[in-house]
Chains A and B, each alone.
Chain A
């Protein structure tokens, strides 16, 4: 699951609470048998394919050139010494994408959540339904729609609404603008997931604390800074770290809207590797890049876990 997978499991957002009760009585019983199906699944469906990827990454396996020979670590050396400038650029752009997307998602989703927080339940429910409308349009559909209607080369509605259609060139055809145009679409289409999670977290805050501070005459921003945000910190962190990890794997919006163009100016890692493999048929190089990407993604996941444990202690 890629960006299409901005999947943030609700269950993972845990915080602001008592630790779950221990169950000592039955803890001694062995539960290994229950793990076996999942172990087989992980081995057959994840370990074996990744093993194949590692195998191909050590070969010059290029169907376009018809080459298939052992290459040792040549593919990796080429990537890690920066001789493939496009790959390095795609890596940098992916990190920029992650930072910009989570920043914009956070500002938008937090504003939405805070707006609803101060409303009566009925209205909050109504606006919540409106705010999540964009995620009902599946990502590939959103991407094609924005590409062909909002950003259409002639008469794109996006620029017309902003009154810029005579000033700015069609965004997806402009190497300076295309990347940012994609980000606008991504934030429109997928920020509601962040909103759902932040809003659910906000609902857990004990309103009596806030009422007490209102009696004390605290202004809205004082309350936000000293009460709401500190209480929300764990929820915010978990939500955004999930979003960041998933954004690192971003694929469908970039691939559908620009295929990495114009002139490689919008490639992120997934789309660049996809192009190496399925357009240029260079599976050796593609596999090596995929493995490098996997290592980075694994490192980010592990980093996220360590930071979580600082928030929740080891139990989380």
Chain B
């Protein structure tokens, strides 16, 4: 009797779970099936496919329109912008963490939050006009420069929390040993903050990797990143859905790696933030 009652209580929960699973997985199912289907085959609804082919994946890796240049560009641009942003954001976040009990320090910190909300469209237009005069359109350095301001405020904002969590005793011990401010930062604080910096870096990289609005006007045929490469399949509704789906799934692999690696820190980071 108790079992039955417990079963009845779980029915709404089970129904909800099934509805959510359908919502999440049905589009996923079509994406995967399309990536294994021959050119232009769309399923007649939610059924099993009749034939499976690998030609879309082979095309993504070897064809004339292969994924490699886009993936290489994405990797270079993502690593460089994220690295640059972390390099200048980390000391600033450290300073702001020390200044957080002063009015000025708090105001500066909050101003980075406001900077985070700057519409990318307001940045990409001037970058486009500047770059078109200094022949930096369609260059990787141009993309790296234009993507860094997106990452910078976010890094400062997130990293301060990491530094806030370092107990003051650590630095006081360093101060007793007579370490200068810079030595304290590089040899005492940074090693402790490294996991937090890594997690921030990975999440930043994730958002730089998927950026479209900044890269799209500034990139040219030789500097297309992965998100732009994917849109090259959008012209043809029928012929290109297979390669598109295959490319989407291949492009999800770096996302998954970044995600899994960041989970190692960021569950901790998230919970540390929420404590």
Contact = CB atoms under 8 A, between A and B. Distances in A.
B94 A34 contact: yes
Overall SS of chain B's interface: helix
Contacts of B79: none
A66 interface: no
Residue in B119, B208, B209 whose Cβ sees the most chain A Cβ within 10 Å: B119
B165 to A, nearest CB: 7
A5 B207 contact: yes
Contact of A45 (B31, B108, B152, B267): B152
Given A132-B259, A149-B42, 19 more contacts: A1-B154, A7-B203, A10-B266, A11-B159, A11-B160, A23-B168, A26-B98, A31-B95, A37-B92, A42-B115, A45-B148, A46-B123, A148-B244, A157-B43, A157-B45, A252-B213, A256-B234, A273-B119, A294-B122
Interface in A200-250: 200-201, 203-204, 235, 245, 248-249
Contacts of B150: 1, 5
B212 A26 contact: no
B116 A204 contact: no
A305 B110 contact: yes
Interface string A1-31: 1101101011111111110111101110101
8 contacts: A2-B120, A9-B158, A33-B95, A48-B126, A127-B17, A134-B27, A157-B30, A251-B212
Nearest to B111: A42
A2 B149 contact: no
Interface in A144-196: 144-150, 152-155, 157, 160-161, 188, 196
Interface residues of A, number: 113
Overall SS of chain A's interface: helix
Nearest to A127: B17
Instruction: Enumerate the 7 nearest inter-chain pairs by beta-carbon distance, A residue then B residue, closest first.
Output: A38-B92, A23-B168, A10-B270, A11-B161, A52-B126, A34-B95, A31-B95
B274 A138 contact: no
B258 to A, nearest CB: 10
Contacts of A98: none
Interface of B: 13, 16-17, 20-21, 23-28, 30-31, 34, 42-46, 85, 87-89, 91-92, 94-96, 98-102, 106, 108, 110, 113-123, 125-130, 145, 148-150, 152-154, 156-162, 164-165, 167-168, 171-172, 175, 181, 185, 196, 199-200, 203, 207-213, 217, 226-228, 230-231, 233-234, 237, 240-241, 244-245, 247-249, 251-252, 255-256, 259, 266-267, 269-275
B234 A148 contact: yes
Interface string A302-313: 101100000000
Contacts of A315: 100
A294 B161 contact: no
A283 B87 CA distance: 33
A302 B114 contact: yes
A11 B200 contact: yes
B117 A160 contact: no
Given A145-B31, A149-B30, A137 B252 contact: yes
A246 B220 CA distance: 27
Nearest to A142: B248
Nearest to B181: A29
B125 A197 contact: no
Contacts of A51: 126
Given A149-B30, A204-B275, A53 B122 contact: yes
Nearest to B34: A149
A131 interface: yes
A25 B98 contact: no
Given A249-B119, A270-B213, A203 B231 contact: no
A101 interface: no
B98 A32 contact: no
Contacts of A7: 154, 203, 207
